[in-house]
Amino acid sequence: MLFRCFVPCCPRFELPDFPFMAFSISNDPSSLLSLQTQRSIFGYKDKVKDFEKTQLRIPASFRRKAVNLQMMASGKIPGLTQEANDCTYEATIDTENNTDVFSDMKQRFRAFKKLKYMDNLEHFKKLADAQAPKFLVIACADSRVCPSAVLGFQPGEAFTVRNIANLVPPYKSGPTETKAALQFSVNTLEVENILVIGHSRCGGIQALMGMEEVDSRSFIHNWVIVGKKAKESTKAVASNLHFDHQCQHCEKTSINHSLERLLGYPWIEEKVLKGSLSLHGGYYDFVNCTFEKWTVDYGGSRGKKESTGIAVKNRSVW
């Protein structure tokens, strides 16, 4: 059997059937063909140099498979609960800084496993079988406003969907991941609360407020236009304010417009009417670290015409 090398940097040549591990991934003299043997195979030094260069070009997937073969041959197959430092793995390296970009993440995961998962093993075993969250949270994708970090949601407590500017699209628009999450969480998981969370200095709202016309080529424009009515409401009452203050006004107005749109989903309004589902708004100001919360007053909202707003109750600031 012959191995053929098709690496562009060297001429085509054939190798005898030597053990794969001897020349493909290891630099150990005991497992690598000696230079003299290589010379006898290739016939001259230039090809040996070319061959040595190819060692650096072996794909990562090839190297991982080879390591797995070595582990299987030695009987050292790590179990699912074995510590990560007992396993052979290939680190992702930041070549510019020569650091493992997942190092901190690995340590945080190990801390989670030790301090939370293992201490609450029965709880996580139940979650493995089913979930029964009380909340559906619709939040912004902004990296600064993670709902679990800000509000302390634990695994199993909140079904969460995050999108640009925490928007809820109209019921009659086309399919989106947000609408799929609404349908699944309300009709299948039967959550008892929907919480729409906006936040300060939202880039999606800034894009909406600064947009003169929709660019059909822009995914961002085609998404944030969902908040067009919130923009119009803001311009009607705050057009004389500085742009930043207009955005802040729209950030809150947009939340109520999303809550109003939720009532446009027949199966959501039906559950709200029965009292089995409540709708809430929240606004996280990370500049001052405050959280404002309110609840939709469905009885007070029913008398309002569409697009004239909703009635709210139980407003509080934390």
Alpha-carbon gap, residue 256 to 258, rounded angstroms: 5
Alpha-carbon gap, residue 190 to 185, rounded angstroms: 6
Give the SS3 label for residue 318. coil
Q: 219: which 2 tokens?
A: 């995914």
Q: 162: which 2 tokens?
A: 């995050």
**Does 10 count as an annotated binding residue?**
no
The CA-atom distances, in angstroms, between 46 and each of 14, 23, 40, 67, 155 are 15, 17, 12, 29, 59
Residue 273, Cβ neighbours under 10 Å: how many? Answer: 13
Nearest to 280 by CA among 201, 179, 180, 166: 166
Q: 102: which 2 tokens?
A: 């997942």
Q: 306: which 2 tokens?
A: 């569409």
Instruction: Identify whether the C-beta of residue 16 lies closer than 8 Å to the C-beta of residue 41.
Output: yes
Q: Give bridge partners of residue 296 from the DSSP assignment.
A: 312
Residue 44, Cβ neighbours under 10 Å: how many? Answer: 8
**Does 142 count as an annotated binding residue?**
yes
Alpha-carbon gap, residue 303 to 162, rounded angstroms: 31
**Does 280 count as an annotated binding residue?**
no
Nearest to 192 by CA among 233, 158, 147, 145: 158
- Binding-site residue positions: 140, 142, 199, 202
Binding-site residue numbers for Zn(2+) are 140, 142, 199, 202
